[in-house]
Amino acid sequence: MSSKTELCQVLLCQQHTFNVIQDTCRSIKDLEIDIVELETLSDSTGNRGYIEVLKSKKMALAKLLDTKVQGALVRSRVQNITEMDAPSSFFFGLEKKHGQKKVIHSLLSDTGQELTDPGQIRK
C-alpha cells in the first residue's frame, strides 16, 4: 500500500473515533439531563411511569459509562506495555551496577603486591 493510502486510512480511523467519542459524550450529557428532570418529576408527582423511565435511563447511562471505563482500561494497559518495553534510566542504572559487580577491580599477585591496572590484572 502507498503511504498516501495508509495516511488516509489513519485519518479516517481518527475521524471515526472522534465522532464516536463526541456521540458518546453527547448521549451521556443528554441522559444526565433527562435523569435529573425525571427525578424532579417523579419526586413532585409520585407517578410510577416516571420511575420506570428513570430506571431505564439510569441503566443506559451506566452502560455508556461502563463502555467508557473499559476503553480507558484498554488504553492504560497498552500504555503500560509500551512503557515496560521502553528503556529507562532506572534500567540502565541497574545494568551498570550489575556490570560493575562483574569487574575485577584489584588482585593480589603471588608476591603480595596489589594489582589495579587492568592490563596487569589480565596477565
Is the same domain home to 12 and 31? yes
Tens digits of per-residue pLDDT, 90-120?
Answer: 777 878 887 777 777 787 888 888 888 878 8
* Same domain (yes/no): 23, 58: yes
Tell me: do 34 and 71 sit in the same domain: yes
What is the number of domains present in the chain?
A: 2
> Are 82 and 102 part of one and the same domain?
no
Mean pLDDT across the chain, nearest whole number? 82
* 15 lies in the same domain as 57: yes
Q: How far is CA 105 from CA 1, 67, 117, in A?
A: 56, 59, 8
Q: Could you tell me if 55 and 95 lie in one domain?
A: no
Does 73 share its domain with 123? no
Q: Are residues 59 and 107 in the same domain?
A: no
Per the structure, the complete domain to which residue 43 belongs is given by 3-86
Do 108 and 54 sit in the same domain of this protein?
no
Q: Supply the pTM of this predicted model.
A: 0.53
Q: Which residues contact 65 (CB under 8 A, 6 or more apart)?
A: 28
What average pLDDT does the segment 8-27 reach?
89
C-alpha distances (whole Å) from 76 to each of 13, 46, 90, 92, 118 are: 20, 44, 21, 24, 48
Write down the pLDDT at residue 31: 92
